[in-house]
Amino acid sequence: MNAFLLQRGVYMEGDMVILTDDTNNPMQVPTRENMLRAMEWLVRGAAPGDSLFFHYSGHGGEEKDLDGDEVDGMDECIYPVDFQQSGSIIDDVMHDIMVKRLPPGCRLTAIFDSCHSGTALDLPFTYRAQDGGLKEYNIWKGTGTDGAEILMGYATKNVGMMFTGAKSLFDRATNYKSKSKLEAIKQSKMSPADVIMFSGCRDDQTSADANEAGTFTGAMSWAFLGAMAQLQPNQQYTYLSLLQSVRGMMRNRYTQKPQLSSSHRIDPNAVFIF
């Protein structure tokens, strides 16, 4: 993933914090403390127009929800190397750090290659791979102007347009009178920032460890990089076609179903950008 990002020229080495369990540097080992510190670093000083990227390939799980914000009663989590001593990192914590703190007009693209990762960031909108429709009832049915304004702002690098569109979406959620627990939860998890997540599987599934071409990797990470490598010059994915391509790479090899979710409603047929 590091090589891919550098090759695309989106980020430079100095833009990245990389934690891995094969290092002797204690500050780069993925302990709970280091992982939380890295998440804090990622969003510190984030401003409209910034583009952030987060990738996690490791173990994930589920734990009993203690604050009532999960419809299925379970929090999703990831496991640091010292989780037996220091504990896991649950989705509520990651949402509070990497979603809630981002301002309107800031983009975060996240990839979770871990078990039970479908809602690892607690993003309220999940899309069907078949047609891009929302998997669950949503409070934005019939609206799309604000989302289009955000995307146009990114395309033209108009920070003001991005901010206006995102703030309008967020204000609509804040003023919405929820009629059910599900809607109330979705409202509380929305963000004016543009957070997009690709996960390795649904919440009720596991994500495979893989050995592809003699290299050990997570199946989702392998499929994402493979899908991106298939792009022809001047060709671009939409969010939906990227999800479909990733699933296509994994079909007949793995049983897990990668998911696409977002912090507010997006047009899944819009061009995928970092």
Active site residue ranges: 59, 115
- 1/60 Cα distance (integer angstroms): 19
**Cα dist from 245 to 129, 203, 231, 240, whole Å:** 10, 20, 10, 9
As to burial, measured by CB atoms within 10 angstroms (0-12 exposed, 13-18 middle, 19+ buried), residue 189 is: buried
| C-alpha atoms less than 13 angstroms from C-alpha of 140 in its C-beta half-sphere | 24
- 262/119 Cα distance (integer angstroms): 10
**Cα dist from 154 to 148, 151, 231, whole Å:** 10, 5, 21
- 151/46 Cα distance (integer angstroms): 19
The residue type at 260: L
- 101/124 Cα distance (integer angstroms): 16
DSSP notation for 94-106: HHHHHTTTPPTT-
